Every structure is written in structure tokens, then in C-alpha cells.
A and B are shown apart, each in its own frame.
Chain A
Amino acid sequence: NAGVTQTPKFQVLKTGQSMTLQCAQDMNHEYMSWYRQDPGMGLRLIHYSVGAGITDQGEVPNGYNVSRSTTEDFPLRLLSAAPSQTSVYFCASSFGETQYFGPGTRLLVL
């Protein structure tokens, strides 16, 4: 199994641009989530999904959209990037309570 995969690894955006961060898992996990990690801080939950077709907001959802059309994929969309969204983004999936993380996407918004 590849586990949780994320693309791209690194991205630079200009303010106002849009992009989609991709996340996929091949473990047939129902639960998937997106976190952001800022320097000196722990991970903060952006959005999560308990199964295909079901999504909900986490702690810091503003500026981000998600959808879950399949069990495997959980993309995160930035509709209009802002410098405050410069961060490292991690996707995670789980069957039970233990979440397994992808390698992350480092995003820089200028």
C-alpha cells in the first residue's frame, strides 16, 4: 500500500490565485481530514470527512473548500489564496481513531 499520498510537494501561489491540493489513500479508510501546520504550532484541523459525500468543518475552515466524491480522494481547494494561508498542509486518513498522515504540501502565498 502507498498509504496517504499528497501532491504537489511544494507550491508557490500569488495572492488571489486558486489551487487544489490533492490527497489520496489506498487503505479504504472512511475518515479523512486536512490539517495545517504553522511554525511553532501543532496541527490544526481544517476540514474532515467521515465518508464519501460527507464533509464538515474543523477548527480553521475559512478560505478552504473540500469535497469527497470517492472513498480514496479528498481534495482541498483554495479559491482565492491569501498570504495567511502560507503553511504546510497535511492530509490524514483513519479507519478507527488512529490517523495516518501524508508527507505534506508546503504552500507559499506571495
Chain B
Amino acid sequence: GESVGLHLPTLSVQEGDNSIINCAYSNSASDYFIWYKQESGKGPQFIIDIRSNMDKRQGQRVTVLLNKTVKHLSLQIAATQPGDSAVYFCAEKPADSWGKLQFGAGTQVVVTP
């Protein structure tokens, strides 16, 4: 079946560097994508989202890029800080399913001093 997946299960980043977290999706019918951050012992926290009619969207220190040609989604974090250490999930929503998100397995980001 179609699923959302991540290329890298663990990403180690030096403090101050930029982080790039990648996500592959296979459902070409998905029209909405979202990134969540999950700190240990907490629920997923919304970071940024993007619709399929966009290629790029920026937030505060974060940018999401969507490449529909190769079905690839990425999250860029600028000037990574220790507080960015967490698991990051991407999720997609098929166009015919209101609210039913499909999640990837997650990427553990570790920020080193």
C-alpha cells in the first residue's frame, strides 16, 4: 500500500548548523502535508504545513519544501538549537479523506554542542 516514510531515522546536527529532514510519500492523491515535532513524553506539536498547490512555505526558522514530481517533502531548520532535539514526523492527507492523516515513522534529531 501507499505510505509515508523517512529517509533517515536519526540525524545528528551541530548547534548553529542548519538541519534538513527528509520525507518520501507515495500517495500522489495527497493534497496536504504537515510536520510535527515530538519531544520526549509529550504529544506531537504542529510545526508547519503545506498544501499540494505550493512548493515552499516558510515559518519562523523553518521551511518546508514540497517536490511533487518525486513525491518528496523536506523540513529545513535554520540555526539549529538544543531545543530542536526531538522526533520529527511528516504526515500526509489524501485528497478524499478529510482529516485522516497518515504518518511516517519519524526522524530523531539530536543537536550536539
Contacts and interface: CB of A to CB of B under 8 A. Distances in A.
A57 B101 CA distance: 13
Given A42-B103, A42-B105, A98 B45 contact: no
Contacts of B45: 101
A90 interface: yes
Contacts, number: 56
Contacts of B36: 101
B42 A45 contact: no
A99 B35 CA distance: 11
A94 B36 CA distance: 14
Main secondary structure of the interface of A (DSSP, over half): strand
Interface residues of A, number: 23
Give the interface size class of chain B.
20 to 34
Nearest to A106: B41
5 contacts: A43-B101, A43-B103, A48-B100, A50-B98, A98-B49
Interface in A12-68: 31, 33, 35, 40-45, 48, 50, 58
A102 B100 CA distance: 17
A85 B94 CA distance: 27
A103 B43 contact: yes
Interface of A: 4, 31, 33, 35, 40-45, 48, 50, 58, 90, 94, 97-104
A41 B3 CA distance: 12
A96 to B, nearest CB: 9
A26 to B, nearest CB: 16
B99 interface: yes
A40 B93 CA distance: 21
Given A42-B105, A97-B93, A103-B43, A50 B4 contact: no
Nearest to A30: B99
Given A4-B43, A97-B49, 12 more contacts: A33-B99, A33-B100, A42-B104, A43-B44, A43-B101, A48-B100, A50-B99, A58-B100, A90-B43, A90-B44, A98-B49, A101-B36
